[in-house]
Structure 1
Amino acid sequence: MSDSLSTIIVDDEPLARKGLAIRLAEHNDINVVAQCSNGREAIEAIKQYQPDLMFLDIQMPGLNGFEVIDEVINQELALPSVVFVTAFDQYAIKAFEVHAIDYLLKPADDVRLAQAMDKIREHNQSKADTEHKNRLVQLVSDVTGSEQSKILEELASNQDVSISQYSDVLPIKDGGELSRVPVNSIWWIDAAGDYMCVHTEEGTHILRKTMKQLEELLDPRIFIRSHRSTIVNKNYIQKFCSQLNGEYYLVMTSGKELKVSRSYKDKVKQAVNN
C-alpha cells in the first residue's frame, strides 16, 4: 500500500470511529493506521505515524479538534491534511479558516463521503505535483546557477527556462553536502595544487575545478585573472599598486594583498579603472 494515504481517525465516540473505519476500508488508497479517542492520543499518533490524512472530530473532552491542530503546530510536527467530522455545523467557517480539506456532518452518507474522498485525492495530487515541481526547480537551479524565483517566474509565464551563460551561484561539494555559494560573495579564488580555494567573507571553500573551468562559469566583466593561479572579483578590489622593483599587487577590501603578474597587469589595471 505504498501509494495509499496513511490515515488516523480521531473521535471520542467508539461507534463513530468504527463506522468511519469500516467505510474508509472500501477505499483502496486509504490506510487507517490509528484510531484515537481524544486529542492527546491524536498528537501521539501524529508523532508516531506522521500520517498523510486525519479525520478529526471537533467537540471532544480535553483538546477539541482546533486545539489539536494548534498543538501540532506549536510542537512543530508535520500537520496532516484534515477533514473535520462533527455533529455540529456552526464550526464550518472556522474549519476552512484552518485550511481543512472538507467538513463532514455526522452522520455523513456514502455520497458525501465519496465527495470528500475526491477532494482529498485532488488535494494530494496537487501537493505531490507542487513538491515534484519544487524538486525540479531546485535541480535546475543547482545545475544552471539561476535563482529559483526566476525559474518559477519563467515557468508561470510559460517561457522557456533560461540558462544563464554565467552562474549566480557556485555549487561546491564538501563530502556529502552541497553548498551553494553566491558568486557575488566571492572575493578571490586561487589555486592550491589540484584544488581551488574560494575565498568569501564566510570563509574558504575548497573546489575541485581547473582555472579554465572556473573562467567559463564566472562573468569576465566581474571576475578578472590577475595571475596564472588567481581570479579576483573586481568589486572587492580596493586599489592597484606598484612597487619600486616593478612588481604589481592588488589590495582587497579585506586588506589582503594579491600579486599581479606582468602578463595580466594591463588587463587588471583596465578592469580596475572601469
Structure 2
Amino acid sequence: MKKIILIDDEMQSIGVLQNLLKEYKGFKVCATAQTLDEAFIAIKEHQPDIVLLDVQLNEQSSFELLDRIKEINFDIIFTTGYHKHSEHAVKAFRYNAIDYLLKPIDREQLSESFSRTSRHQDSLKFFLQKLNTLKTNFFGENLIRQKLAVPTTDGFLLAEINEITKCESDSNYTHIYFSNGYKIITTKTLKHIEKLLTDQPFFFRVHQSFLINLQYASRYYKGKGGYIELKDGSTVPVAVRKKERLIRTLTGN
C-alpha cells in the first residue's frame, strides 16, 4: 500500500483529490496539509511514498518546503491552477518531480501520473520520459522553438536548442552536434556555451570536454567513469568526478 500526502492551500482541491483517490487500490491518503509547516510535519511523521504538492501555498512557494527536507525519498507530483515561468521547470527537475498536473485534475491525468511512479525503477527510460513530461507541461511549444545564438567565424547561427545533442570542446572552439547529423564549430569555449545553457535542465557536463543533452541519451555503461551512448550511436566519456551525480540524475536516487 503506497502512502500519499495531499498538500494544497485550498480544502476544496484536497477534497477533489481525495474523491479521485478512492477509486485507486494500493494507494492510501495518510495525511493532508494546507501550510508549509503542516506539510513538513506530515512528511516527517508519515514518510510517504508519493506527495501531491501544490506549487503555491498561501503566497509561499512549495520549493521552500522541499528545501527544508534533508533527503527527499518520495515521489513528487506537482499540481497548480495556472502556468508559471520556466524557472519552476528547472526547480521541479532538480527535485525529481514525477509529473506536473494542471487543475482541475481529472482521472486520466492522475492515472497517468501514478503509472509513472510504478515505472520509476526503469531508471533511464523513466528519466527520459520525465524530461519529456516536464518539457511539455512547463515549456510547451516555446522550448521547441527556443533558439541559441551561436557565434561562428563569419557571424552567428540561430540554433534550435532542443535539437542539440552534444557539445565537444576543441581548445578555444566548440563543436556543436545536432539531431539531424549537422555539426558546426563555434568560436566560443565549451565553458561559454555551458553558461548560455544554464537555464536548460536537460544539459549535463559529463566531462571536461563534453556537454550532452540527456534527452538524446540512450544508455549508460559502467566503468571507471563510464560512458554514455547517444541515440545516434556515438559515445561520450564520463569523468570519474561526474559519475556519481550523473547516476543520481539518471536514476532519481
TM-score, structure 1 as length reference: 0.42
Work out which structure has the larger RCO, using CA pairs closer than 8 Å and 6 or more positions apart in sequence.
2
Looking at CA atoms only, which structure, 1 or 2, has the larger radius of gyration?
1
TM-score, structure 2 as length reference: 0.45
